[in-house]
């Protein structure tokens, strides 16, 4: 788990959007509300092929949840890593090392309602990959890397967190990583 504290300049003010980056179960009924528009089958198949050959899935989707994450993600720790994406958003990344905090965050999001805000194609590919024969020997294949944001924070900030491909160093979209 990581905390991605996103710092955005919006209408002349600084907005901080705390986001949890974690694995979310995709197998079976995950309880995640899907957008109405389905992902194109050809694009999903291409992504599944990439997952099969890479044996890993490191491109996050964005979930917006009703879990009260804002207070749980608040910290005064210095970031382990800071990057600024092409859109100018600063990402202060903090690894969740404390076991108690890890358990608390997992408990908050485990059964909370959520909706997929972006990344339908990677989510569907992860679901298909999770039941493929190639995934049988991979314990992480039943999970999808997701950025999870508290819907109250995003509504109050009038902003949506950004989840750039390759934020954790890998992207199928840009194989340079």
What are the pLDDT digits (tens) for 29-74? 667 888 888 889 999 999 998 888 877 777 888 899 989 998 999 9
pLDDT 10s digits, 105-139: 999 988 888 888 888 899 999 988 988 888 888 87
Closest CA to 114 of 74, 80, 68: 68
172 within domain boundaries: no
Print the domain residue range for 120: 2-157
Q: Residue 170 has what pLDDT?
A: 47
Q: Residue 77 has what pLDDT?
A: 92
How far is CA 163 from each of CA 77, 107, 168, rounded to the nearest angstrom? 22, 23, 10
168 within domain boundaries: no
Contact assessment for residue 39 and residue 124, using Cβ atoms and an 8 Å cutoff: yes
165 within domain boundaries: no
146 within domain boundaries: yes
166 within domain boundaries: no
Mean pLDDT for the stretch of residues 139-161 = 83
162 within domain boundaries: no
Q: Residue 99 has what pLDDT?
A: 93
Element (H, E) at 157: helix 151-157
177 within domain boundaries: no
Domain count across the chain: 1
Contact assessment for residue 8 and residue 15, using Cβ atoms and an 8 Å cutoff: yes
98 within domain boundaries: yes
Distance, in Å, from the CA atom of 36 to the CA atom of 25, rounded to the nearest integer, reads 20
């Amino acid at each position: 788990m990581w905390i991605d504290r996103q710092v955005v300049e919006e209408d002349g003010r600084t907005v901080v959007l705390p986001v949890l980056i974690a694995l979310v179960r995709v197998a079976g009924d995950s309880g995640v509300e899907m957008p109405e528009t389905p992902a194109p089958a050809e694009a999903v198949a291409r992504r599944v092929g990439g997952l099969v050959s890479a044996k890993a899935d490191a491109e996050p989707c964005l979930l917006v949840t009703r879990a009260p994450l804002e207070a749980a993600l608040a910290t005064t720790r210095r970031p382990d890593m800071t990057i600024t994406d092409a859109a100018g958003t600063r990402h202060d990344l903090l690894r969740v090392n404390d076991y108690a905090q890890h358990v608390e965050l997992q408990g908050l999001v485990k059964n909370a309602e959520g909706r997929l805000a972006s990344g339908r194609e990677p989510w569907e590919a992860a679901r298909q990959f999770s039941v493929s024969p190639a995934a049988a020997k991979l314990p992480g294949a039943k999970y999808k890397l997701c950025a999870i944001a508290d819907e109250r924070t995003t509504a109050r900030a009038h902003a949506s967190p950004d989840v750039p491909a390759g934020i954790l160093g890998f992207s199928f979209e840009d194989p340079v990583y």
